[in-house]
Structure 1
Amino acid sequence: MDRPSLDALIAIALDAGREIMRVREIGFEAMKKGDGSPVTIADQRAEAVIEKGLHALMPDVPMIGEEAVAEGRVPTCGQRWWCVDPLDGTRDFVAGLSEFTVNIALIEDGFPVMGVVLLPVSGEMFAGEPGRALKGVYDIHDGRALKPSAPIHAANGKPTEGWRVFASRRSGAGDATTRFLDAIGPHTRAAASSSLKFCRLAEGAADLYPRFGDVNEWDAAAGHAVLAAAGGDVMRLDATPLRYGTKAPDFLIHGFVAYANEEAADTTRTALKH
């Protein structure tokens, strides 16, 4: 099956990031969706930009977008579909912080095969497709590459100081996380926002990212694609591979562990039995 180029997905992400930054510059008001989570005009405009761009690339492939789902627009997931979070980290965006992202992923047969994650403030861009993961830096305003995209690779094996673990700032302090960290043995712990945790694993900055608790598929799919392209992967809490579209129409993942390499995966499988 033909797929679009990573450059084409990067261009769409940059267009969406540019729209987000316009809203940030002129000011906005945060609203609440039915589930109580925040949403802004930036989320909505960015998703409209992405939907238009993806339709132009692949008119017959449906898009599952966070804001569309919130409005009740849920197309049927077939063999191929787009999984999109136009602004992952809306709370950070509303608070004036910088680690929010644009997430675009192509799903085939339940697995993310292409993905782009953009940080609009810094212009950092992570992208992946089978056998190739890249990181570059772009000027969000005109789309110029400020740093040429370079290959990234997930970490290989266990570091001598113990596993390097990313844990969510909001969901990483519970009993399940504590039990998991105790079970994996010596480790160091760091924090990062939104889908960046997958990308930091993909570039070799950490080894494990456990998430205990529900998360939407569009929060994970693009980062998962980048990590898989870099040599890592993601498993559910029952140690089976994480697949997408099986929980429609709510698109919830009931926890997962992202890992950088097979040694980390083996350690995870053992820890999840405790």
Structure 2
Amino acid sequence: MLLSDLKPNLIKIALAAGFLIQEIAKQGFATTHKADSSTLTDADLATNELIIGRLQSIYPDILVVSEEGNQYRGEGLETGDWFIIDPLDGTRGFAKGSKEYTVNIALIRNGIAIAGVIFAPDSGELYYGDNETGAVFFEVKSKKLEPEVPIAAQKLREPALLLVSRHHLDAKTKDFTHKFENPKITQMNSSIKLCKIAAGEGDIYPRFGPTSQWDIAAGQAILEAAGGRVLQMDGTSLKYGRVDENGLLRLNPNFVACGNFIPAFLPFVD
């Protein structure tokens, strides 16, 4: 598969999914809860069906793993190509009226996120990146893409620009911020944090606590295409396809997403 051919397909699918979420939000939607108590809406399910259907129509031989209903059960996926999607990242906030939600689609090859797209419909931001063509940003106006703008992650600034989750600003994260002198800290939801670092609008996003592989894969692909990194606390790159004893994808370990530099504090014992 040529990534130059993949790029327009993933962008079109992400746009269609994002516009569908907006239509459902206008019409009103039902909200329920999954077995793990996390929020689920009609928009999650409809978008999931759209993305999987379109991916399978174009790439019928490639497995699609999703947060909603297509969770993989089997042996590890450390080899080969497969898609991983989060149809609506930020469901809890979306259900409460937040605009900070995203559509996430990534292609994994041999355990590495090599291509990804993230679309934030309500802010009109779309980011794409792969390890062949690089990373770009599109502004979306009136459901149309403006010309693409190449993006690149930056070296660490002083003061550092730290991005943290609005819902996960825990004690470990607060302690982590003390590693920097007078850092500028911005809170935001969803995978857009990795995109902001890829675009040079942030330096570091630390995450202490569980995330699913579909939460991070697309953002990692974009950030690494822009020259940044997503590193585990031992300094190695975050990988995909690990499964637990039940054949389900394992949760990610703690990690740090950063710009075009290797943080001096890694390896880090958290």
Could you say whether these structures have the same fold, taking a TM-score greater than 0.5 normalized by the shorter chain as the test? yes
Q: How far off its partner does 1:75 sit? A: 6.3
Match of 1:261 in 2: 260
Q: Is the 8 A contact 1:103 1:222 kept in 2?
A: yes
The number of residues matched between the two structures is: 263
After superposition, where does 1:1-274 map in structure 2 within 5 Å?
1-3=1-3, 4-69=5-70, 74=73, 77=77, 78-130=79-131, 131-139=133-141, 143-145=143-145, 147-156=146-155, 158-160=156-158, 162-174=159-171, 176-248=172-244, 249-262=248-261, 265-269=262-266, 272-273=268-269
Q: Is the 8 A contact 1:257 1:268 kept in 2?
A: no
Q: Is the 8 A contact 1:184 1:267 kept in 2?
A: no
Q: How far off its partner does 1:255 sit? A: 1.5
| Matched position secondary structure for 1:49 | helix
| Matched position secondary structure for 2:240 | coil
Q: How far off its partner does 1:57 sit? A: 2.1
| Matched position secondary structure for 2:56 | helix
Q: How far off its partner does 1:179 sit? A: 2.9
Mapped partners of 1:182, 1:110: distance in 2: 33
| Residue identity (%) | 35
- Please tell me the residue identity of whatever aligns with 1:2: L
Q: Is the 8 A contact 1:98 1:121 kept in 2?
A: yes
- Please tell me the residue identity of whatever aligns with 1:65: S
Q: Which runs of 4+ in 1 moved over 6 A?
A: none
Mapped partners of 1:152, 1:273: distance in 2: 32
Q: How far off its partner does 1:170 sit? A: 1.7
Aligned CA-pair RMSD: 1.8
Q: How far off its partner does 1:93 sit? A: 0.9
| Matched position secondary structure for 1:28 | coil
Gaps of 5+ in 1: none
| Residue 68 to residue 268, structure 1, CA distance change in 2 (3 Å) | farther
Gaps of 5+ in 2: none
Q: How far off its partner does 1:48 sit? A: 0.6
| Matched position secondary structure for 2:174 | helix
Q: Is the 8 A contact 2:90 2:190 kept in 1?
A: yes
| TM score, norm. by length of structure 2 | 0.91
| Residue 181 to residue 148, structure 1, CA distance change in 2 (3 Å) | same
Mapped partners of 2:62, 2:39: distance in 1: 28
Listed one character per residue, the Cα deviations across residues 200-242 of structure 1 (whole Å, up to 9, x for unaligned) are 0011011000000000111111111110111101011222210
